Chains A and B, each alone.
With several copies, the nearest count.
Chain A
Amino acid sequence: MITVNYFGNIAEATQSDSETLDQKSMSLEELLNLLDSKYDIRKFQFQVAVNRKIIPKQQVLTISDSDEVALLPPFAGG
Chain B
Amino acid sequence: MKKVFLEGAISPEFIADSIAKHQGKHSIGAHNIFLGQVRADEVGDNKVVAIEYTTYEEMANEKLHEIREAAFEKFNLTCLHIYHSLGKVGVGEICIFVFVSSPRRKQVYEATEWLVNQVKEHVPIFGKEILDNADHQWKVNS
Q: Per the CB under 8 Å rule, do A and B touch in the complex?
A: yes
Contact A9–B138 (Cβ < 8 Å): yes
Q: Which A residues have a C-beta under 8 Å from some C-beta of B?
A: 5, 7-9, 11, 49, 52, 70, 72-78
Q: In this assembly, does B36 line the interface, its C-beta being within 8 Å of a C-beta of chain A?
A: yes
Nearest residue (CB) in B for A52 is: B59
Number of interface residues of B (CB under 8 A): 28
Nearest residue (CB) in A for B140 is: A74
User: When A7-B56, A8-B54, A49-B59 are in contact, do A77 and B138 touch as well, CB less than 8 Å?
Assistant: no
* A41–B52 CA distance with the chains assembled, in angstroms: 22
Contacts of B71 in A (CB 8 A): none
Contact A75–B59 (Cβ < 8 Å): no
Segment among B8-16, B17-25, B72-80, B121-129 that sits at the interface with chain A: B121-129
